[in-house]
Structure 1
Amino acid sequence: MKNIILYVEILACIALLTACSKEELSSGSVDAIAGEVQFYGAIKKQSDILATTRATDEYITLNETGQDFGTFYIWMKVGSDNSFKSFFQPYKEAPGEQGNLVIDSEKQTDETERLNWCDETSYHTFYAWTQPSVKTGENDEITGGVKMNKTFQYGEQSSADLSGTVIYGTNKETDLEKFIITQKGPISYDEWGQDVALYFERPIAKITLEGITYIKSDGTFNENIKEATIQFPNMYSQATFTPLVDGIQNVLTGVPATKWITWNWDKEDDDSKSLYVHPFVLGLSSSDDKVDIQNDEGFFIVTVNVADPGSPEVNHSYVGTLNSLKLSSSSTSTERQKLNAGQCMRLYLIVRDGAGVGGGYKIVDWNEKGEQTLPQYRIPGVYNEEDAKRLLEALTNNTFPKGVEDLLVDNEINLFTHVDWSKVTTAINIPDDYTLKGNGYNVTLGENGSITGQQKNIYINGEYVEDSTSSNTGGEDSQP
């Protein structure tokens, strides 16, 4: 009894807060109908990105997110896998009550049909999810978001064969910003009490393209690109959704036959500025080092109108990989990076005729603001002859990085133009812990000229160097 009173007092103290921990959310109303499962919901506010401590995960209660997630579908399984019963009901956020979920009367007209504890000792497992979707066409068919394979009547179930499909795309096409899921249990009434706190997470990932800069042949910039088409030939456009499979990480399985996503990006439309995708690994495995980049999951083709304002449309296409655009190279880990569920890739692209795609990205928390993570103007690097001259002087006079700090991103030197160092007839050394990242551009050296140190995705006198730490003049570490 003392513990119950203490929990109620704690709840009263935090009623005005917008964030809560799992421990804080575990206590709820003592006025609920006896036997009813009283649900409280919160969504994960802080991801595990770059986590360096064992700090408690933070959540924000559903009622205080400012977002209407629609109907929460809750499936309750009672008993063991060998002998169990299943019950299914729709819930919604209760206005004005912190985190409370109540029967969705628009879906279930009989509000007395709630999920109840079957008894005090049986184990209950709860599966909950939302089903955001977009319908188009004459038949009002779901063309984006979550599409379940069949409709279940609410109440006790005779079958637990529940599955569907997640169709990826922009929020305008899918409404997937509202797609969240959770699982809880097995737990019993004796162990847990009447209240069940549900901690929702996002099972998908998101890519937000902040902007595109086009560099003209004369070196001037066009940063007014408002629209583009980006195609990802190797990304899943659909996934099988099985919400009753144990483990949130197991509920989505990419459908290989549906690979290829086309993204109609619109910088000024928030619902088209981000692409919702299946979590994926960036880059190729070590066994695939020599495979062409078109097999990379992050391989993309971007098409933009590069004509001056008021001129006839001129569409140019450029290819690149997301893996080559990582802003920071400070990590010494050889493990390939992954865009995990609940994470957002903040991306910026730079395109230039004859030189492919440059730019950069950082992986951040789902809701983190872009301006906090990406440069607002352009990615630091070598863009013109003057930049190249300053870099060469710093490298040859052993003053690097002094005087060229504005050209660096952490420990990377990015090239965004071809570099003419044809007067160099000796070795240029890239200092330890730094990488000369070519982004597909060429460095022209004079006779006997060479570059030593770490280099990636660069041409030296027309010969390609994929990733090398040795001296390169088109030798054994390069490939045509």
Structure 2
Amino acid sequence: MMKNMTIQIKWMMGMLVLLLAGCDKESDDMVLPVGRREIVVSGEGTGFVQKRELIGDKDTGPKYGVFYIIKTMKLNDQPLGNPRWGCYKVKDGTIGSLTAKDTASVFFWEEDEAVKYAFRALSVPPATNYPEDKYPVENPVAGVRIDTLSDGTAKGKVWFGDYSKGLEYFVGYTVADKLRPGDFKLSMSFKRQVSKLVFRKFTHKTQDGNTVTSVNECKIIFPNLPNQATFNMEEFHQFDNTVATSTKDFHYVTFHYDTGEDNLGIEFDWKQRYSDDTNQRLYHALYVPPFKFWEGEDGRPESQLGFFIVMYNNKSYTGNIYGINLDNNGEPTGKDATQVQAGEMCRFDEIILQDGPVAGGGDGSIIIPWSTKEEEDMPQHRYAGVYSADDAMRLYEALKSGKDVPQKFYEERNGKKVIRLFANVDWSQLTGELKIPDDYILAGQGYNITLGEGGSLTCAQEGKLYINKELYVDGVKQE
């Protein structure tokens, strides 16, 4: 673990690896029977870590609930018939196989082999409870609802929150331009639709650091994240929103957010949990929409989507997710993440709640109600660095005068002092050269420094830094 860190957050980014459950290639020597044939649906999914498993494995089938699937057909690129809805569930006594919930839901392959099919599927998992009987959730409420409409479309809604909403098993998949396969099977490799934050441990320290207490329960609040979203079965997008090679890459339903005051803020009650069998610490997860950690317009820490509050012992502690990946020794890997996407997990190995004063600048995040007290029970920032315009000005004044740089602005690493930027910096008053001493490294982390006309910086650089919106990587200007 790194030392002198108020909130220590480790990452495990577990992007889903989903492979086809069956072969989609037609057998050249297979003679297709005449007439319509029932579509046999096979399903596969994964956990939030890189692990492959069939739907229904380890008795997980009922947790996925009902799969809403819409089927459309084309012949010679023209629509064929109306969209058809079907509701499927995990087939009793089988693993990886889905069956129609009722006779009206059964899908068929048409006799004409030239027909092309498209399928869009989403699961609607039921509300659940923690599997450990000693940690029940009272009156759990399901987190997903889908309403099918008479015109063949559907509207849905998702409510974000803890495990009890069933969002661990909220999955989806699309198939496009599918011809009837020789084995009549439709293979769907379901992908998780939301993101996951896991909190493993909280530790409380007094201001002097002499008293350290393990936290057994607290409340966690993400005040700037939307707590609900709407969607429809017509709008899917590709992972990370990059340009897809085909419509087959569109497996993630598109969320629409109402950011009104009543629809912002996700919170849940965290408790330390242990397994009865092994006494190992259990995961306690929060399910959230995919989001970028630092996307607030005003650049203030408390305005960011990754800003969170921990309520403990009638005190408020605040922090931000900055996406700094740490290795097993607690050292930065240099591969910083900026967001968590659908099917990815952000794991907090330990969050330290530190009592202490707010010294001004970037030492703490003060939230409403604002206080004029000289001392507040708030944490310091997780990493030393520049977080605000006040920080930038204090750093500039120290560098220009040749005074010692305040320790709050740098961390020591391998004999060097690393100054990290966590906000854009306005040094437009600089019209000459500013030389940062050789024992310092400026880590831009993708932020921009604005200099005045004729202004220049002479310093060792690390990572991406924009100077007057021109990109430098490790100190080398990019063309």
Is this a same-fold pair by TM over 0.5?
yes
Other-structure match for 2:418: 435
Evaluate the alpha carbon distance shift between residue 77 and residue 271 of structure 1 in structure 2; reply closer, same or farther with a 3 A threshold: farther
Deviation at residue 36 of structure 1 after TM alignment: 0.6
1:219 aligns with 2:241: no
Deviation at residue 220 of structure 1 after TM alignment: 2.9
Other-structure match for 1:114: 106
**Mapped partners of 2:46, 2:78: distance in 1:** 29
Alignment of 1:57-96 (within 5 A): 59-68=52-61, 69-79=64-74, 84-96=81-93
1:276 aligns with 2:271: no
Deviation at residue 436 of structure 1 after TM alignment: 5.9
8 Å CA contact 2:193, 2:253 repeated in 1 = no
Evaluate the alpha carbon distance shift between residue 202 and residue 135 of structure 1 in structure 2; reply closer, same or farther with a 3 A threshold: closer
Structure 2 unpaired stretches of 5+: 1-16, 130-138, 237-249, 275-280, 364-381, 386-402, 423-436, 446-456, 461-479
What are the superposed Cα offsets for residues 289-345 of structure 1, whole Å, 9 maximum, x if unpaired?
x6211211011111112xxxxxxxxx2101111117653643367xx6110110111
Match of 2:310 among 302, 326, 336: 302
What are the superposed Cα offsets for residues 5-33 of structure 1, whole Å, 9 maximum, x if unpaired?
xxxxxxxxxxxxxx9942755489x9999
**Mapped partners of 1:81, 1:179: distance in 2:** 32
Other-structure match for 1:318: 317
Evaluate the alpha carbon distance shift between residue 342 and residue 72 of structure 1 in structure 2; reply closer, same or farther with a 3 A threshold: same
**Mapped partners of 1:271, 1:255: distance in 2:** 33
Other-structure match for 2:99: 102
8 Å CA contact 2:191, 2:252 repeated in 1 = no
8 Å CA contact 1:299, 1:321 repeated in 2 = yes
Alignment of 1:160-171 (within 5 A): 160-171=152-163
1:267 aligns with 2:272: yes
Give the letter for the 1:63 counterpart.
Answer: G
1:294 is paired with a residue of what secondary structure?
A: helix
8 Å CA contact 2:163, 2:286 repeated in 1 = yes
Alignment of 1:139-178 (within 5 A): 143-148=141-146, 150=147, 158-172=150-164, 174-178=165-169
Evaluate the alpha carbon distance shift between residue 297 and residue 432 of structure 1 in structure 2; reply closer, same or farther with a 3 A threshold: farther
What are the superposed Cα offsets for residues 176-207 of structure 1, whole Å, 9 maximum, x if unpaired?
11111111122121x66511101100010000
Structure 1 unpaired stretches of 5+: 1-18, 49-57, 153-157, 306-314, 359-408, 415-424, 440-448, 458-467, 472-480
Deviation at residue 264 of structure 1 after TM alignment: 1.6
Alignment of 1:175-186 (within 5 A): 175-186=166-177
What are the superposed Cα offsets for residues 20-70 of structure 1, whole Å, 9 maximum, x if unpaired?
942755489x9999611111110135878xxxxxxxxx7421132541222
* Structure with the higher fraction of residues in helix conformation: 1
**Mapped partners of 1:34, 1:183: distance in 2:** 22
What are the superposed Cα offsets for residues 389-408 of structure 1, whole Å, 9 maximum, x if unpaired?
xxxxxxxxxxxxxxxxxxxx
**Mapped partners of 1:34, 1:73: distance in 2:** 22
1:346 aligns with 2:336: no
Give the letter for the 2:288 counterpart.
Answer: V
8 Å CA contact 2:224, 2:304 repeated in 1 = yes
Other-structure match for 1:452: 440
Deviation at residue 453 of structure 1 after TM alignment: 3.1
Evaluate the alpha carbon distance shift between residue 343 and residue 113 of structure 1 in structure 2; reply closer, same or farther with a 3 A threshold: closer
2:345 is paired with a residue of what secondary structure?
A: strand
What are the superposed Cα offsets for residues 99-137 of structure 1, whole Å, 9 maximum, x if unpaired?
221123xxx2x4x7511013322111111221124399x
8 Å CA contact 2:270, 2:284 repeated in 1 = yes
Evaluate the alpha carbon distance shift between residue 245 and residue 20 of structure 1 in structure 2; reply closer, same or farther with a 3 A threshold: closer
Other-structure match for 1:255: 258
Evaluate the alpha carbon distance shift between residue 185 and residue 205 of structure 1 in structure 2; reply closer, same or farther with a 3 A threshold: same
Deviation at residue 167 of structure 1 after TM alignment: 0.3
Other-structure match for 1:6: none
TM-score computed with the length of structure 1 as normaliser: 0.58
Give the letter for the 1:353 counterpart.
Answer: D
Other-structure match for 1:243: 233
**Mapped partners of 2:154, 2:209: distance in 1:** 56
8 Å CA contact 1:127, 1:183 repeated in 2 = yes
8 Å CA contact 1:76, 1:124 repeated in 2 = yes
**Mapped partners of 1:304, 1:249: distance in 2:** 36
Evaluate the alpha carbon distance shift between residue 75 and residue 338 of structure 1 in structure 2; reply closer, same or farther with a 3 A threshold: same
1:127 aligns with 2:126: no
**Mapped partners of 1:59, 1:434: distance in 2:** 43
Evaluate the alpha carbon distance shift between residue 295 and residue 249 of structure 1 in structure 2; reply closer, same or farther with a 3 A threshold: same
Evaluate the alpha carbon distance shift between residue 210 and residue 46 of structure 1 in structure 2; reply closer, same or farther with a 3 A threshold: closer
Root-mean-square deviation (Å) = 4.6
Deviation at residue 71 of structure 1 after TM alignment: 2.0
2:214 is paired with a residue of what secondary structure?
A: coil
Evaluate the alpha carbon distance shift between residue 43 and residue 145 of structure 1 in structure 2; reply closer, same or farther with a 3 A threshold: same
1:252 is paired with a residue of what secondary structure?
A: coil
Evaluate the alpha carbon distance shift between residue 451 and residue 294 of structure 1 in structure 2; reply closer, same or farther with a 3 A threshold: farther
**Mapped partners of 2:419, 2:335: distance in 1:** 16
TM-score computed with the length of structure 2 as normaliser: 0.58
8 Å CA contact 1:203, 1:249 repeated in 2 = yes
1:166 is paired with a residue of what secondary structure?
A: strand
Give the letter for the 2:83 counterpart.
Answer: S
1:249 is paired with a residue of what secondary structure?
A: strand
**Mapped partners of 2:217, 2:438: distance in 1:** 41
The number of aligned residues is: 335
- Aligned-residue identity in percent: 20
1:253 is paired with a residue of what secondary structure?
A: coil
Give the letter for the 2:38 counterpart.
Answer: E
Deviation at residue 430 of structure 1 after TM alignment: 5.9
8 Å CA contact 1:75, 1:87 repeated in 2 = yes
Deviation at residue 346 of structure 1 after TM alignment: 0.5
8 Å CA contact 1:41, 1:199 repeated in 2 = yes
8 Å CA contact 1:453, 1:469 repeated in 2 = no
2:84 is paired with a residue of what secondary structure?
A: strand
Give the letter for the 2:127 counterpart.
Answer: V
Give the letter for the 2:185 counterpart.
Answer: D
8 Å CA contact 2:148, 2:155 repeated in 1 = no
Moved more, 295-304 or 263-272: 263-272
